[in-house]
Amino acid sequence: MKTMTTSLLAAAVLMASGAAASADEVELWRLDCGQIEVRNLGVFSDTFKYSGETRTLTDSCYLIRHDKDYMLWDAGLPTALIGAKVDASATFAPALAEDLPTQLAKIGVKPEQIGRLGVSHNHFDHVGQAATFPGATLMIGAADFAQFKSDPLPFAVDPNLIKPWLDGISKVDPISGDRDVFGDGSVVILSTPGHTPGETSLLVRLAKTGPVLLSGDVVHFEEQFANRGVPTFNFDRADSLASMERLTGIAASLNAILVVQHDTSDINKLPAFPKSAK
């Protein structure tokens, strides 16, 4: 019994030290994936909270390095928007200044080095440049991937943006529940449905910075956690509220930095590119 106990303790120590070593090798960059001018902010609250307001949303993507492996979280707006004229009459007016490969080149990363492409959900402003990385395994909520084949298509879903995976050329990893991406707890995809049926968020544990939570579109502005602002186009209201509660609960438990990906005021929570958080 003593030998077994000793062995179990030794295994626990090795696992703990291994997790610490992995944490030292995790690095996180925020990439600029465009912006969206919203001319009728009322659609972001089904309680009429933002009626008559306008606001500009940031569109953020994130690169995670785990030792020698690279994962991209969200793929931003489509490159067709670069240099395109903004529609003055549209409720949503997206714009993009620079594509992902151009930004990645500044830190010496090539598109083919991206082994995993995790997307928080299936909307066009999160998968816009996905096809730039056909060699990556697409990690997406199973319910969201299924929606790409729906008829009619749901709001903001464009199958053409993930054609390599829909055609079976590239590998898809449909996710149900949470997923420990690298098996050491350093990068975990969290199930946070509501905005879409398969919406996810991302937990990244960094050695120096500490835990970072990337919200996906659980909320679009920081204050929505408090005012429970649920967009009119969300898939499920009850799930949306439950996911808000889950994220804020995780942030409190882990003392994590919670980054709302569309909130311009949250950009400065992470170092400015090309600097990284470690």
Confirm if 91 and 103 have CB atoms less than 8 A apart: no
For 270, half-sphere exposure in the C-beta direction (CA atoms, 13 angstrom radius) is 34
Instruction: Please report, as a single letter, which amino acid is at residue 10.
Output: A
Segment 258-268, tens digit of pLDDT: 999 999 999 99
Confirm if 199 and 193 have CB atoms less than 8 A apart: yes
pLDDT at 23: 45
Query: Nearest to residue 23, comparing CAs of 264, 203, 244, 161?
Result: 203
pLDDT at 172: 98
Q: How does DSSP assign 131-163, residue by residue?
A: GG-TTSEEEEEHHHHHHTT-SSPPTT--GGGGH
The Cα 25–Cα 134 span in angstroms is 25
The Cα 167–Cα 7 span in angstroms is 49
pLDDT at 7: 37
Give me the torsion for CA of 194, 255, 274, 78, rounded to 10°.
Answer: 0
Strand order in the sheet with 179-180: 179-180, 187-191, 200-206, 210-214, 257-259
CB atoms within 10 A of CB 164: 17
pLDDT at 208: 97
pLDDT at 165: 98
Rg (CA), the chain: 19
pLDDT at 86: 83
pLDDT at 10: 35
pLDDT at 212: 98
Query: Nearest to residue 72, comparing CAs of 21, 151, 128, 16?
Result: 128
pLDDT at 234: 98
Confirm if 159 and 153 have CB atoms less than 8 A apart: yes
pLDDT at 88: 79
What does the pLDDT profile of the chain (278 residues) look like in tens digits? Answer: 433 333 333 334 334 434 443 444 999 999 999 999 999 999 999 999 999 999 999 999 999 999 999 999 999 999 999 999 888 788 999 999 999 999 999 999 999 999 999 999 999 999 999 999 999 999 999 999 999 999 999 999 999 999 999 999 999 999 999 999 999 999 999 999 999 999 999 999 999 999 999 999 999 999 999 999 999 999 999 999 999 999 999 999 999 999 999 999 999 999 999 999 99
The Cα 240–Cα 225 span in angstroms is 10
The Cα 42–Cα 201 span in angstroms is 24
Question: Mapping DSSP to helix (H, G, I), strand (E, B) and coil, where does residue 64 land?
Answer: strand
pLDDT at 21: 35
Can you tell me which residue has the tokens 């990284």?
Answer: 276
Q: Write the CB contacts of 205 (distance below 8 Å, at least 6 apart in sequence).
A: 23, 26, 185, 186, 187, 211, 212
The Cα 213–Cα 277 span in angstroms is 13
pLDDT at 12: 41
The Cα 135–Cα 169 span in angstroms is 9
